[in-house]
Amino acid sequence: MKGSKAIVILLLIFLLPLFFYILIKEGDHRYRFLEYYGPKHLNSAGTDTVYHTIADFAVTDLNNNEVSFEKYNPSYWVFQFFNTQCNHPCNDVFYNLNGLVPDFSEAPKVKFVSISTQPVSDIQDSLIALKNKIRITSPQWYICTGDSLETDKLMQESFFLHGNLKNAALNSIFLVDSYRHLRGIYDGADPLEMRKLKEDIKMLSYETKQKEKK
């Protein structure tokens, strides 16, 4: 009897590592990647899916530095659109973002960019006042303005924000991967949605690492 127990124990010692190895490998295959938003189609060869891509953009932060995909490539991007005259829902969105940004202080590839929809009226002084009001201190968070027509085009064609100058459209937060694909849309005024954004950024990082291994 003692011999039988010893054999079972030895089998467990040898088989458990194999079991966990298989579990981990199978877990990779079952892992749920984030979905892609926007139109998609097959390439000309019919072998790969071509996903909706965010257009190139170039805006200016409060230090008169350019913020663009090209300058901070590769990065994960969290986009927000706002104007200083928007109290609701913009104040709630800023408040929730301000609680989220510090969670990624050790992840410099995560960039947060807030772009004014009213660059003519949102002058430097008003944007600085907003930054101080929200107490934005993170170097990863850029408060920006750009050309009005280019901003409208970016909002409509890349982020599907039609009627973009209405405050009701300014609660949306967008997650963009390092390939400029739209991977998440969230209600920035909802704390639960922002919690989901936090987890999705981590999932996106994991997804990227998994793809780099292949």
Each residue's pLDDT tens digit in the chain (214 positions)?
Answer: 555 655 555 544 555 444 444 444 444 444 568 999 999 988 877 788 999 999 999 999 999 999 999 999 999 999 999 999 998 899 999 999 999 999 999 999 999 999 999 999 999 999 999 999 999 999 999 999 999 999 999 999 999 987 545 565 789 999 999 999 999 999 999 999 999 999 999 999 999 888 777 6
In the 8-state DSSP scheme, what is residue 68? Answer: E
In the 8-state DSSP scheme, what is residue 156? Answer: I
Q: Are 164 and 53 in contact (CB under 8 A)?
A: no
Alpha-carbon distance 76 to 203, whole Å? 11
Kindly state the tokens that stand for 196: 């989901």
Identify any residues that bridge with 145 across adjacent strands, giving them in sequence order.
Answer: 60
Q: Are 91 and 124 in contact (CB under 8 A)?
A: no
Alpha-carbon distance 36 to 145, whole Å? 27
Residue type, 88: H
**DSSP sequence for 9-31:** HHHHHHHHHHHHHHHHHHHHHH-
Please give the pLDDT value at position 116: 95
- Residues with Cβ within 8 Å of 145's Cβ and at least 6 positions away in sequence, in order, are 59, 60, 115, 116, 119, 122, 127
Alpha-carbon distance 88 to 86, whole Å? 6
* Helix/strand/coil for 117: coil
Domain boundaries, the chain: 1-30, 49-213
Please give the pLDDT value at position 23: 41
pTM score of the predicted model:
0.83
Please give the pLDDT value at position 18: 45
Q: Which CATH architecture has domain 49-213?
A: 3-Layer(aba) Sandwich (3.40)
